[in-house]
Amino acid sequence: RGSGIGRQLLGEWLERAGLTLETTRAYARGDIVVLEQRGVWRSPESGVVTGERTLASAFRTDERRVVWFGRYDDPASALAAAGLDASDELR
């Protein structure tokens, strides 16, 4: 929980959280992308699944790199925050 800046911070957070993400849907317009994802959390010590849920990640890019990232508890919240809707789904 919280916020920060940097690729290293994001990588450390993912490792510490024991989170893996599988993208199930993608939305995009301009430099904004929202990914609907199935998240699975595993205990770093045992590898046992400790939680699963659908969530979403939103990104803003500047052609070559991600300049902003946000994780949301559900796809609808991410789409609303990003200003996207169902018509922006990539097929």
- pTM of the full predicted structure? 0.81
Distance CA 81, CA 51 (A): 25
- Neighbouring CB atoms inside 10 A of 58's CB total 23
Are 76 and 50 contacting, i.e. CB atoms less than 8 angstroms apart?
no
pLDDT for 19: 83
Chain segment 2-30, per-residue pLDDT in tens: 566 777 877 777 677 778 889 999 999 99
Summarize pLDDT for 54-85 with one digit per residue, the tens.
Answer: 999 999 999 888 888 888 999 999 999 999 99
pLDDT of residue 3: 62
Residue 37 contacts residue 53 (beta carbons within 8 Å): no
